[in-house]
Amino acid sequence: MAKKNLLHVLKDRYPDIEEKQLYAYIMCGEVICNGGRIKNPKEKIKTDSEITIKGMKYVSRGGYKLESGLDSFNYSVTDLIVVDAGCSTGGFTDCLLQRGAKKVYSIDVGSNQLAWSLVNDPRVSPMEKTNIMSIDKLDPKPHFAVADLSFRSVLAPARKLFNLISGDEILVLVKPQFEWEDPDKDFDGVVREGETIISICLNLIDKLEEDSIYVKGVTLSQTKGRKGNQELLFLLTTNREDKINDIGHVISLMFV
């Protein structure tokens, strides 16, 4: 098995944590590798080593994003079987398990990203090198789904997720930079203007409603994206009666 510097392995494992923060974790003695504490960022370790960072509630910042959504919507996942689409390191998966999920299908197109502690958890079914769009059925059938996807709109995955679950609600992380259909020519990957984010979200909502998918709840993620993008969490439903009727006004108030 190939070896890399500890800091490089951490950067691969935790892509949503800034390098300087990872460096600080190492120097403060908070990184545990294969049961031992390492304080040298350049120490060579196997790339498949078991790594934990003490003091982190979740294996990645994603856990805090999902936490803010579940808290905002007062949503319980206790005893539910859940799909985590775009699991990456497993922040969402970790949050779901800590909040009582019975089982999580952790799905991602990448490989060797999911935290070792989650790979070894009997409640987790890791599905690496798997595109959520290629899945037709999961057994046992999940009740609920969450998604943290990059480099694509959540529109098509939302349709797919509703087809995979027995329930009528899913929770998705909306990233304006990947929903912007006609970005400015000088767009650098960060959507800074609140009015632009509002417009992007309303366009997405219109398209979701064309597929009979409605927004039941919306909140700002309390943790921004790696580059500083303000992300949102949408609680989506197929039950039209549960939709927020004046969604444009609700989202606009978030950016006052």
Regions of the chain where pLDDT drops below 50 = none
DSSP for 54-121, please give it. TT-SSSSTHHHHHHHHHHHTT---TT-EEEEET-TTSHHHHHHHHTT-SEEEEE-SSSS-S-HHHHT-
The domain at 61-254 falls in which architecture?
3-Layer(aba) Sandwich (3.40)
Distance CA 11, CA 198 (A): 32
- β-pairing verdict for 232-237 and 169-174: antiparallel
Run of H or E residues at 1: none
Token digits for 103?
A: 């089982």
**Beta carbons of 197 and 254 less than 8 angstroms apart:** no
Which pLDDT score, from 0 to 100, does residue 1 have? 66
Report the pLDDT value the prediction gives residue 53, as an integer from 0 to 100.
84
Q: Which CATH architecture has domain 3-53?
A: Roll (3.10)
Other CB atoms within 10 A of residue 29 CB: 11
pLDDT value of residue 14: 79
- Whether the Cβ atoms of residue 89 and residue 112 lie closer than 8 Å to each other: no
Parse the chain into domains and list their residue ranges.
3-53, 61-254
